[in-house]
Amino acid sequence: MSCKTCRSDIFKQKLGRCPRCMKQLTFLSIGGWLTWLEFFQATPYQIEAIATFMISSAFTGLLALHLLLMGYYRLASKK
């Protein structure tokens, strides 16, 4: 793993601290949304479109949670 917190199995300890996870989520989010826009925007009710939309939303939500907690940890460490 790339850092001390990534070696931990506890999900809560990794949120906002793992740059490797955040990079992966960034690429997965962008790739998922570009795939949905390119192939499924015209037919949003197909099962493939719904699945791509849901997984892209999940990647984006987890990335947002990482970024939110990263900001919190940085502000908390300055105090």
How many other CB atoms are found less than 10 A from the CB of residue 17? 17
pLDDT band at 8 (very low <50, low <70, confident <90, very high): low
- How high is the pLDDT of residue 6? 61
pLDDT of residue 79: 72
In the chain, domain spans:
16-78
Closest by CA to 59, choosing from 27, 20, 13, is 27
pLDDT for the residue 52:
97
Angle CA 28–72–30, to nearest 5 = 15
Q: Is the whole model's pTM more than 0.85, yes or no?
A: no
pLDDT digits (tens, 9 = 90+) for 26-71: 999 999 999 999 999 999 999 999 999 999 999 999 999 999 999 9
Question: What is the per-residue pLDDT for 2?
Answer: 55
